[in-house]
Amino acid sequence: MDIRIEKTSISDVIIVIPEVFGDERGFFMEVFRKDQFEKHNLPTEFVQDNHSRSVKNVLRGLHFQWKPGMGKLMRVTYGSAFLVAVDIRKHSPTLGKWFGVEVSAENKKQVWAPAGFARGFCVLSHYAEIQYKCTGVYNSECESGIRWNDPDIAIDWPVRDPILSDKDKNAQDLSAWLRTSESDVFKY
């Protein structure tokens, strides 16, 4: 089995497409296989798996963590969602740039974004389940977010009036993050 890799407009954000074998009974695919990820220079050390379920129009994010830095491999296992990654690395040539793609249980795509990216999603179907493998263990003292509608980033979300948590409603703009000493953690 082999995975396919699709490049995106931000070189460090990768779409991973597993080989899927299906017939009238259903399908089989390998979501993660160390040798295949090594072959494509993707991370192989994941330390935490997360699973969330949200209803239509919920927008979660844009979240990130700096200690330890946390890369995420995200996929949708039920329904569909628009997955987004924003480069928040202070000295990166793509600082403030975003990439977004519709991912669904049907297309089985996965999105990899390393530490130094804020990630989020909005649910497009009646509900969706999103699973993600993380390269760092969650640390509530070293995590934050960027406002989902920061005008300097200008993400073209497919949802106009999203359902947000209080935390996401009150997230900082990218410019505020860049003024913190923690923002020096992410090296390009």
Q: Which of 32 and 165 is assigned the larger pLDDT?
A: 165
Q: How confident is the model at residue 114 (pLDDT cuts 50, 70, 90)?
A: very high
> How large a percentage of the chain has pLDDT more than 90?
81
**SS3 assignment, position 109:** coil
Q: What is the CB-side half-sphere exposure of residue 120 using CA atoms within 13 A?
A: 28
Domains of the chain, CATH where assigned: 46-181 (2.60.120.10)
DSSP codes, 5-29:
EEE-SSTT-EEEE--EEEETTEEEE
Q: Which of 160 and 52 is assigned the larger pLDDT?
A: 52
Residue 86's pLDDT is 98
Going across the sheet that includes 110-113, the strands are 4-7, 14-17, 110-113, 72-78, 127-134, 48-55
175 sits in which H/E element: helix 174-178
pTM of the predicted model as reported, rounded to 2 decimal places: 0.93
Residue 30's pLDDT is 83
Active site residue 51: no
Residue 13's pLDDT is 96
Rounded Cα distance, 54 and 24, in Å: 29
Catalytic choice (78, 132, 138, 188): 132
Catalytic choice (40, 63, 91, 126): 63
Average pLDDT of the segment spanning 32-49: 91
Q: pLDDT by residue (tens digit) across 141-159? A: 999 999 999 999 999 999 9
Residue with tokens 């669904």: 104
Rounded Cα distance, 174 and 79, in Å: 30
**SS3 assignment, position 146:** strand
Residue 132 makes CB contacts below 8 A (sequence gap 6+) with 49, 50, 72, 73, 74, 75
Calculate the average pLDDT of the chain: 94
Active site residue 63: yes
Q: Is the pLDDT of residue 105 over 80?
A: yes
Cα–Cα separations (whole angstroms), residue 156 to 100, 106, 144, 163: 8, 23, 21, 16
* End-to-end CA separation in angstroms for the chain: 32
Average pLDDT of the segment spanning 28-52: 91
